[in-house]
Amino acid sequence: MSVVAEWNEAAASDLIAPFAAREGGLLPALHALQDWLGHVPAEAVTLLARAFNLSRAEVHGTISFYHDFRRHPPGRRVLRLCRAEACQSRGGGEIGAALCARLGIGWGGTTRDGALTLEPAFCLGLCAVAPAALLDGTPLGRVSADSLQEAVAEALP
Amino acid sequence: MSARVFVPADAAAVAVGAEQVAQALARHGADVIRSGSRGLYWLEPMIEVETHSGRIAYGPVAAADVPGLLDAGLGDGGGHPLRLGRPEDIQLLARQKRLVFARCGVVRPGSVDEYRAQGGLRGLARALEIGPQAVIEEVTRSQLRGRGGAGFPTGIKWRTAAEAAGARKHIVVNADEGDSGTFADRMLMEGDPLALIEGMIIAGFAVGARKGWVYTRSEYPHAVASFDRALEAARGAGLLGADVLGSGFAFDVEQRVGAGAYVCGEETSLLDSLEGKRGQVRAKPPLPAHKGLFNEPTVVNNVVTLASVPVILADGADAWAALGYGRSRGTMPIQLAGNVKHPGLFEVPFGITLGELIEEIGGGTATGRPVRAVQAGGPLGAYFPPALFDTPYDYEAFAARDGLIGHGGLVVFDDSVDMARMARFAMEFCATESCGKCTPCRVGSVRGIEVMDRIIAGEEVEENLALIRDLCETMKFGSLCALGGFIPYPVMSALTHFPEDFAAGGRAAAELAAVAPEGGGRRAAPGL
């Protein structure tokens, strides 16, 4: 699901409009923006506030409340690695630390060449095949430091 | 004629290669059908071939095994080292009582015809026949309790919403299954989504709601897609819409996707999130049954709770209530995860002991080392030591031992686990996920991390242990919801059952001392 589009105010307004007519439509609108742009840019806040008849503070408060919504574009690929207890019990913590060291980034960081963003997840529901991750939309189970590095190899410098 | 082979499209099966297996089978001319998972995850990817004498299972299959399987006569259930025999005879499936998950891994998810052929829609047909009042009575008499964690009687919740005045009412499904070690909601939405839809329609009919909402977490892209496909199929078959199965009752369902906030699994926070706001917890009262979504009467139920309802209506409340233990009636889909030899979903009546679940069903740890701790009920649940393995699986029995069954997850740890670190993780998780509305949770969790850090570093251990106990009391009794209120469970159980890990010179302290450069870095434990 590599990202993609450039910000365009008219297109963003068109995208948002149908959600403003739906009950509780702000979250679906934010998801639609992020699916389109890979993040929810600051420029969108004013548009959303106008469309939903909210203050900019309310829109900002909603965006910043949720871990999913990014304020900046991610790398070309996104790896969400589970850090919750079931994966910890199978060595997930060590695998995460090894990957951070290998990529030279911290949690939430993007490699310098923009190839990969590493995000923490607190449970992917793949606990029976722990440790687990999602590479873009693809689930990966029973991962090891090696298998994970292989999976992200094409994104590595 | 090519063989019909069932390959799970379940996300956890896909995570270990089911997609590649399906592709390899299709390349070799097999008629591949994508089903859900049976939940025997140590055997995934597990494929099943339809033969004259029923289905025959093979697993765990890798794509590279496919040519060999075909050479061995896969289509006729031929012999092969990966052959498991009839799936129903696999010991750890045969030992289960599959009622809610009876069709999971069997049917094509979202196929209304197959759902009906396998016993689906009998519950709805009976509900429409006996009427809303009688449905509520039936659910009440079954003694079904909420499977999301709180264990509140479902019938009472429904009656409250049914009696509440309001022009518009809602059924809200909590599919924000955030607890580590749980995956029952995901499995059902991917493997038998129509069971949830049937339960929702019955609930709507009972309380007089015409709109159902499903709030699914964003971490479950496969479940979201599978459920949306099932909604389309249900509309196409006249199950949803202006005239449900020709009864005159109108009901439709909309799925909404969360955005990575654990606290939105708390029902009032979920409602705010559904309204498009920050997912902050509401003070109760008013109850959601009186003033819920958009301030209108709302039933909020977990996925498994609602998927249990068609079984109860179809087979009767007495059959359901005849199963179980104490005040916990019926079956519970228990989920075994973490460091366990046989991870998976195990649906049985309440009353089985924790020890049976971990040792007999789970087969002990995957690493082969001794079991040291089991976290029951997700990140807000207590850690149980093997000394408490005689605890029966029952809401009250777990509560009597300062624990909870939560949403049915069990996460197993071997003897390499450091319980002081797990206690610190609990506080860290709470700090990350707190909605910020109440002080004990928002501030207490951050202070909890700091105090745990001092204990792990060996600083004034006795004083800091007294402090963390006091802090846990404050969070337990002062927090607005279960996040801050239950985080003391993992912390206090770790401290109570594994005090050696917290003592000056505990595991983490020893590690610190080993890595700290002499005279520098963090202070090592005194006495080392």
Over B461-501, what HEC string results?
HHHHHHHHHHHHHHHHHHCCCHHHHHCHHHHHHHHHHCHHH
Question: Given pLDDT bands bounded at 50, 70 and 90, which one contains residue B527?
Answer: very low
Establish, for the pair of chains A and B, how many residue pairs have beta carbons separated by less than 8 Å: 158
The residues with which B251 forms a beta bridge, in sequence order, are B241
Give the three-state DSSP class for B278.
coil
* DSSP secondary structure code for residue B246 in this structure: G
Kindly state the tokens that stand for B303: 């996925």
Q: Is the pLDDT of residue B523 over 70?
A: no
ipTM above 0.90, yes or no: yes
Do both A101 and A42 map to the same domain?
no
Distances (CA, A) of A143 to A7, A108, B64, B201, B330: 36, 20, 19, 40, 36
Q: Which residue of A has its CA nearest to B220?
A: A124
Q: Please give the torsion angle defined by the CA atoms of residues A41, A46, A47 and A52, in that order, rounded to the nearest 10 degrees.
A: 120
Half-sphere exposure of B369 (CA within 13 A, CB side): 12
Any B CB within 8 A of A104 CB: no
B378: closest CA among B352, B408, B345, B348? B408
Do both A59 and A104 map to the same domain?
no
Percent of chain B with pLDDT over 90: 95
Q: Which residue of B has its CA nearest to A67?
A: B260
- Find all residues with CB under 8 Å of A57, minimum gap 6, and list them: none
Half-sphere exposure of B163 (CA within 13 A, CB side): 8
* Residue B100 domain-assigned (yes or no): no
Question: Given pLDDT bands bounded at 50, 70 and 90, which one contains residue B1?
Answer: very low
Instruction: State the Cα–Cα distance between residues B164 and B290, nearest whole angstrom.
Output: 6
Query: pLDDT value at position B59?
Result: 96
Mean pLDDT score, B49-61: 96
Output phi, psi for B252, to 5 deg. -140, 165
Q: Which residue of A has its CA nearest to B345?
A: A128
Do both B295 and B330 map to the same domain?
no
Instruction: State the Cα–Cα distance between residues A47 and A45, nearest whole angstrom.
Output: 5
Q: Helix B154-163 to helix B132-142 angle, to the nearest 10 degrees?
A: 150
Half-sphere exposure of B261 (CA within 13 A, CB side): 30
Q: Do B278 and A62 touch (CB under 8 A)?
A: yes
Q: B301 is in which domain, residue-wise?
A: 112-321
Q: Which residue of B has its CA nearest to A29?
A: B276
* Residue B49 domain-assigned (yes or no): yes
Kindly state the tokens that stand for B81: 């080292």
Do both B35 and B152 map to the same domain?
no
Do both A45 and A102 map to the same domain?
no
- Find all residues with CB under 8 Å of B158, minimum gap 6, and list them: B136, B139, B140, B203, B206, B207, B299
Minimal C-alpha gap between B425 and chain A (Å): 9
b/e per residue A144-157 (b: at least 16 CB within 10 A): ebeebbebbeebee
* Residue A31 domain-assigned (yes or no): yes
Q: Is the pLDDT of residue A154 over 70?
A: no
Question: Given pLDDT bands bounded at 50, 70 and 90, which one contains residue B324?
Answer: very high
- Find all residues with CB under 8 Å of B499, minimum gap 6, and list them: none
Minimal C-alpha gap between B39 and chain A (Å): 9
Do both B181 and B316 map to the same domain?
yes
* Residue A89 domain-assigned (yes or no): yes
Kindly state the tokens that stand for B456: 């792990």
Do both B407 and B457 map to the same domain?
no
Instruction: State the Cα–Cα distance between residues A77 and B287, nearest whole angstrom.
Output: 43
Q: Is the pLDDT of residue B230 over 50?
A: yes
CATH code of residue B183: 3.40.50.11540
Instruction: State the Cα–Cα distance between residues B345 and A59, nearest whole angstrom.
Output: 40
Instruction: State the Cα–Cα distance between residues A30 and A63, nearest whole angstrom.
Output: 8
DSSP labels, A57-76: HHHHHHHHH-TT--SS---S
Give the three-state DSSP class for A36.
helix
Do both B439 and B472 map to the same domain?
yes
Q: Are strands A138-140 and B4-8 parallel, antiparallel or unpaired?
A: unpaired
* Residue B197 domain-assigned (yes or no): yes
Kindly state the tokens that stand for A109: 């960081």
Do both B162 and B293 map to the same domain?
yes
Do both A85 and A146 map to the same domain?
yes
Do both A57 and A103 map to the same domain?
no
Q: Is the pLDDT of residue B4 over 80?
A: yes
Residues of A in contact with B276 (CB under 8 A): 24-27, 52, 62
Kindly state the tokens that stand for B517: 């450069």
Amino acid at site A51: A
Task: Indicate which of B10, B19, B172, B219 best probes the interface with A, i.e. most A CBs within 10 Å of its own CB.
Answer: B219
Kindly state the tokens that stand for B352: 């089985």
Residues of A in contact with B261 (CB under 8 A): 65-67
Query: pLDDT value at position B521?
Result: 34
Do both A89 and A139 map to the same domain?
yes
Other CB atoms within 10 A of residue B245 CB: 16
Do both A84 and A137 map to the same domain?
yes
Q: Kindly tell me the sign of the dihedral angle through the C-alpha atoms of B240, B242, B248, B254.
A: positive
Give the three-state DSSP class for A15.
helix
CATH code of residue B388: 3.10.20.600
Give the three-state DSSP class for B399.
helix
Residues of A in contact with B425 (CB under 8 A): 85, 88
CATH code of residue B27: 3.40.30.10
Output phi, psi for B412, to 5 deg. -95, 140
* Residue A118 domain-assigned (yes or no): yes
Minimal C-alpha gap between A25 and chain B (Å): 6
* Spacing of C-alpha A96 from chain mean position: 17
* Residue B82 domain-assigned (yes or no): yes
CATH code of residue A130: 3.40.30.10
Query: pLDDT value at position B263?
Result: 96
Do both B407 and B433 map to the same domain?
no
Peptide bond into B286 cis (omega under 30): yes
Q: Is the pLDDT of residue B357 over 80?
A: yes
Mean pLDDT score, B447-471: 97
Do both B251 and B131 map to the same domain?
yes
pLDDT in tens, B62-112: 999 999 999 999 999 999 999 999 999 999 999 999 999 999 999 999 999
Do both A119 and A61 map to the same domain?
no
Give the three-state DSSP class for B397.
helix
* Residue A20 domain-assigned (yes or no): yes
CATH code of residue B460: 1.20.1440.230
Instruction: State the Cα–Cα distance between residues B35 and B26, nearest whole angstrom.
Output: 15
Do both A116 and A150 map to the same domain?
yes
* Residue B525 domain-assigned (yes or no): no
* Residue B105 domain-assigned (yes or no): no
Domain end residue (candidates: B321, B345, B379): B321
Domain end residue (candidates: B293, B321, B349): B321
Task: Indicate which of A129, A135, A144, A148 best probes the interface with B, i.e. most B CBs within 10 Å of its own CB.
Answer: A129
Q: Do A130 and B412 touch (CB under 8 A)?
A: no
Instruction: State the Cα–Cα distance between residues B129 and B114, nearest whole angstrom.
Output: 23
Q: Please give the torsion angle defined by the CA atoms of residues B187, B224, B128 and B306, in that order, rounded to the nearest 10 degrees.
A: 50
Kindly state the tokens that stand for B441: 């949770």
Query: pLDDT value at position B508?
Result: 66
Output phi, psi for B505, to 5 deg. 85, 15
Average model confidence (pLDDT) for chain B? Answer: 95
CB-closest option in A88, A90, A126 to B15? A126
B149: closest CA among B432, B399, B416, B349? B399
Instruction: State the Cα–Cα distance between residues B87 and B84, nearest whole angstrom.
Output: 7
Question: Given pLDDT bands bounded at 50, 70 and 90, which one contains residue B517?
Answer: very low
Mean pLDDT score, A126-153: 93
pLDDT in tens, B147-205: 999 999 999 999 999 999 999 999 999 999 999 999 999 999 999 999 999 999 999 99
* Residue A70 domain-assigned (yes or no): no
Q: Is the pLDDT of residue B488 over 70?
A: yes
**Do residues B325 and B304 lie in contact, with contact meaning Cβ atoms separated by under 8 Å?**
no
Q: Is the pLDDT of residue B468 over 70?
A: yes
pLDDT in tens, A115-124: 999 999 999 9
Do both A53 and A118 map to the same domain?
no
Mean pLDDT score, A87-102: 95
Instruction: State the Cα–Cα distance between residues A63 and A139, nearest whole angstrom.
Output: 26
* Residue A40 domain-assigned (yes or no): yes
Instruction: State the Cα–Cα distance between residues A148 and B31, nearest whole angstrom.
Output: 32
Query: pLDDT value at position B402?
Result: 96
Total structural domains within chain B: 4
Question: Given pLDDT bands bounded at 50, 70 and 90, which one contains residue B526?
Answer: very low
Do both B426 and B381 map to the same domain?
no
Residues of B in contact with A30 (CB under 8 A): 259
Minimal C-alpha gap between A114 and chain B (Å): 23
Instruction: State the Cα–Cα distance between residues A14 and B252, nearest whole angstrom.
Output: 27
Do both B170 and B216 map to the same domain?
yes
* Residue B520 domain-assigned (yes or no): no
Do both B142 and B251 map to the same domain?
yes
Query: pLDDT value at position B522?
Result: 35
* Spacing of C-alpha B107 from chain mean position: 21
pLDDT in tens, A44-87: 999 999 999 999 999 999 999 999 999 999 999 999 999 999 99
Do both B171 and B154 map to the same domain?
yes
Q: A108 is in which domain, residue-wise?
A: 77-155
Total structural domains within chain A: 2
Do both A84 and A125 map to the same domain?
yes
* Residue A30 domain-assigned (yes or no): yes
Instruction: State the Cα–Cα distance between residues B291 and B264, nearest whole angstrom.
Output: 18
CA angle B455, B459, B460 (to 5 degrees): 95
* Residue A2 domain-assigned (yes or no): no
Do both A59 and A82 map to the same domain?
no
